């Protein structure tokens, strides 16, 4: 196997682009612009073209966007065709995946076969740092299995193994941030004293890019980490210092199981329990770099934990968080939203509508619609929204605490409190999909219809109930919905300084417009 370092001129000679699967995820969303800036051609793959198209780098001249589902071998083979290398940055750990290990296993097999059929030169996979411990967590075991499956294929697969990623928006960093900021006194599991070797997201991206530029890494499994080994307890205190907070009082106790830990994390942070549990299970394992070979293969300055946390806090303050853990995940709308015709959706869609005429044109109304949620709030009865978020949190959902990435810009796939943006079409339409714990599926549509020089602002909740519980849920909330959404329209107009042309009204909306995802 060759051990030379390739120059960019040499990589330019390779035919075709570099494929990035999971390009809308936390790592993929940062890797794509980095490779483009370095002169690589990139083919960014995700399950939603609309979600990909909303990224700030989506119109780069050296970028292709392709819709892919790694569980679909045909779409994956099509994405690999013509590429010379591929990054595999996908995993199925999300609240709607039952057996994520089985899903990851099948997806990895699909990737290995598609890469072989397309004649790829290399696969680069970012997985977890697996400790020498027979009792590793289910999550770490699954990530390791994916690495083994890829390396067993015909195409040489480089498996980078990382512990905690330190960067604004990463799941691990957001857990750290919320726990430290919200809890001056912490009663924690004993895993808080477990040694780990975090790596700054900049260093992880540097290693990923470097794997395109040297043949030394081909087929290798390599540990990557930062320059220091710390405990999670020490990380909490470093964060507190960098955030200007008082030192945190941390009391480890042995009685908190992974399940209790995940519920505790879910209660304090925006992380859903279904994601928090596998992450918290892995915190009991010591994850420290044993193999340092990559430091010679791909040399770079390694960033300390303190410096990485400082940089992350600066990015948050400047509202320059390029990607976030909540970006990942499927955003395809339910079938009854796609078809646009409720009678053929396999159930009865319950719906209502409220509208308010405004003197301003849609272009002047849209900014207030696009700013909804997060720190802006929902313009009316905010205490009820917070109560609904708390109930969702107690049920293991995402709650309101997830917020939004940018205060006044929305794109398809963005998280918005306990909603997900399905479509943002300024200044005409905003369509949100509920990610709350509900006995059914719900969407909330804002539509801005031009009327002369003004606008009719329409707000339309729609709900596909699941069983009797779903029907009872809708009926119980119907009167409250009218009061709530009429108040929201008035509150939005008042907060934005818009001029109503009469009171808000209830109306019966027509069929939902098909989502263009």
Q: Which residues pair with 160 in a beta bridge?
A: 126, 222
Indicate if 403 and 303 belong to the same structural domain: no
Dihedral angle over CA of 347, 349, 350, 351, nearest 10? -170
**Is pLDDT of 359 > 80?**
yes
Residues 300, 157 share a domain: yes
How far apart CA 265 and CA 110 sit, in angstroms, is 34
Question: Domain of 104: which CATH number?
Answer: 3.40.50.720
Residue 112 pLDDT more than 60?
yes
What would the mean pLDDT of 480-509 be, rounded to a whole number? 94
The pair phi, psi for residue 267, each rounded to 5°, is: -70, -35
Q: Enter the tokens of residue 209.
A: 């890019």
pLDDT at 340 over 50: no
Of 136, 308, 162, nearest in space to 235 by CA: 308
pLDDT band at 411 (very low <50, low <70, confident <90, very high): confident
Question: What is the pLDDT, as a whole number, of residue 14?
Answer: 58
404 lies in the same domain as 457: yes
Q: Is the confidence at residue 325, as pLDDT, over 50? A: no
Q: Where are the alpha helices (DSSP H) in 231-293?
A: 232-242, 258-268, 273-282
Mean pLDDT over residues 5-27, rounded?
Answer: 72
- CATH classification of the domain holding 367: 3.30.530.20
Answer whether residue 118 shows pLDDT above 50: yes
One-character DSSP codes across 369-398: HHT-BTTTB-SS-HHHHHHHHHHHHHTTS-
Nearest to 224 by CA among 248, 244, 200: 200
| pLDDT for res 279 | 67
pLDDT higher than threshold 70 for residue 163: yes
- pLDDT for residue 183: 85
Percent of the chain with pLDDT over 70: 83
Q: What is the pTM of this model?
A: 0.70
Cα dihedral value 38, 167, 267, 286, nearest 10:
110
Q: Are residues 278 and 373 in the same domain?
A: no
Category of 348 on φ-ψ map: left (φ > 0), alpha (ψ -120 to 50) or beta: beta
Beta strands in 452-507 (DSSP E): 454-465, 505-507
pLDDT of residue 483: 93
Lowest-confidence pick of 24-33, 264-273, 475-484: 264-273
Give the Cα separation of 170 and 34 in Å (integer).
17
Smallest Cα–Cα separation from 431: which of 502, 312, 497, 513? 513
Beta strands, E only, 24-153: 42-46, 63-67, 85-88, 122-128
Nearest-angstrom CA–CA distance, 3 and 452: 69
Indicate whether 302 and 353 sit together in one domain. Answer: no
pLDDT band at 323 (very low <50, low <70, confident <90, very high): low
Is the pLDDT score of 242 beyond 60?
A: yes
Average pLDDT, the chain: 84
| Residues 202, 81 within the same domain | yes
> What pLDDT sits at residue 274?
64
Is 93 among the domain residues? yes
Confidence at 252, pLDDT banded by 50, 70, 90: confident
Residue 2 has pLDDT above 50, yes or no: no
Tell me the C-alpha to C-alpha distance, in Å, between residue 188 and each of 240, 249, 252, 258, 275: 16, 10, 5, 11, 18
As beta bridge partners, residue 414 has: none
Statement to judge: residues 223 and 360 lie in one domain: no
pLDDT digits (tens, 9 = 90+) for 275-319: 666 666 667 778 899 999 999 999 999 999 999 999 888 877 655
Asked whether residue 377 is domain-assigned, the answer is: yes
Quick check: 181 pLDDT over 60? yes
Q: Where are the alpha helices (DSSP H) in 43-85?
A: 49-53, 73-80
User: What is the mean predicted confidence (pLDDT) over 495-511?
Assistant: 91
Q: Reply yes or no on whether the pLDDT at 78 is more than 50.
A: yes
Q: Which two tokens stand for residue 138?
A: 């289910």
> Is the residue at 254 inside a domain?
no
Q: Which domain holds residue 410?
A: 335-507
Q: How confident is the model at residue 346 (pLDDT cuts 50, 70, 90)?
A: very low
Structurally, the chain folds into a number of domains equal to: 2
Closest to 366 in 3D by CA, of 496, 484, 210:
496
Domain match, 299 and 345 both? no
In this prediction, residue 152 has a pLDDT band, given cuts at 50, 70 and 90, of: very high
Q: Kindly state whether residue 253 falls inside one of the protein's structural domains.
A: no
């Amino acid at each position: 196997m060759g051990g030379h370092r390739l120059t960019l001129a040499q990589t330019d000679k390779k035919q075709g682009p570099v494929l990035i699967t999971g390009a809308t995820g936390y790592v993929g969303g940062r890797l794509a612009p980095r490779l483009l800036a370095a002169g690589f051609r990139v083919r960014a793959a995700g399950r939603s073209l609309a979600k990909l198209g909303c990224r700030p780098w989506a119109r780069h001249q050296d970028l292709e966007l392709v819709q892919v589902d790694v569980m679909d071998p045909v779409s994956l083979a099509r994405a690999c065709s013509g590429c010379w290398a591929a990054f595999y940055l996908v995993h199925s750990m999300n609240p709607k995946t039952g057996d994520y290990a089985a899903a990851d296993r099948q997806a990895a097999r699909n990737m290995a076969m598609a890469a072989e059929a397309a004649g790829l030169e290399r696969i680069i996979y970012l997985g977890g740092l697996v400790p020498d411990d027979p009792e590793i967590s289910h999550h770490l075991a699954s990530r390791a299995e994916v690495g083994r499956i890829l390396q067993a294929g015909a195409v040489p697969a480089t498996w980078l193994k990382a512990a905690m990623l330190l960067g604004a928006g990463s799941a691990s960093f957001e857990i750290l941030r919320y726990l430290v900021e919200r809890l001056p006194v912490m009663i924690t599991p004993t895993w808080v004293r477990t040694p780990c070797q975090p790596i700054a997201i900049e260093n992880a991206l540097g290693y990923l890019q470097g794997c395109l530029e040297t043949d030394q890494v081909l087929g290798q499994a390599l540990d990557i980490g930062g320059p220091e080994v710390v405990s999670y307890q020490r990380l909490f205190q470093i964060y507190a210092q960098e955030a200007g907070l008082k030192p945190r009082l941390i009391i480890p106790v042995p009685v908190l199981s992974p399940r209790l830990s995940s519920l505790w994390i879910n209660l304090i942070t925006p992380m859903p329990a279904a994601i928090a549990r596998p992450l918290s299970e892995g915190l009991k394992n010591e994850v420290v770099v044993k193999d340092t070979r990559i430091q010679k293969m791909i040399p770079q300055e390694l960033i300390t934990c303190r410096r990485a946390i400082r940089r992350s806090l600066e990015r948050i303050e400047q509202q320059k968080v390029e990607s976030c853990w909540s970006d990942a995940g499927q955003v395809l709308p339910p079938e009854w939203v796609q078809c646009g015709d409720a009678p053929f959706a396999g159930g009865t869609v319950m719906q209502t509508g409220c509208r308010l005429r405004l003197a301003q044109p849609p272009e002047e109304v849209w900014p207030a619609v696009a700013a909804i949620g997060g720190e802006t709030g929902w313009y009316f009865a905010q205490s009820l929204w917070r109560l609904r978020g708390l109930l969702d949190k107690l049920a293991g959902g995402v709650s309101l605490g997830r917020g939004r990435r940018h205060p006044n810009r929305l794109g398809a796939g963005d998280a918005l409190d306990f909603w997900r943006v399905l479509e943002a079409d300024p200044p005409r339409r905003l369509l949100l999909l509920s990610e709350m714990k509900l006995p059914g599926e719900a969407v909330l549509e804002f539509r801005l219809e031009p009327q002369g020089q003004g606008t009719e602002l329409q707000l339309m909740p729609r709900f596909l109930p699941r069983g009797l519980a779903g029907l009872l849920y809708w009926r119980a909330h119907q009167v409250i919905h009218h009061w709530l959404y009429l108040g929201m329209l008035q509150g939005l107009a008042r907060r934005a300084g818009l001029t109503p042309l009469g009171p808000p009204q209830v109306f019966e909306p027509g069929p939902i417009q098909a989502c263009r995802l």
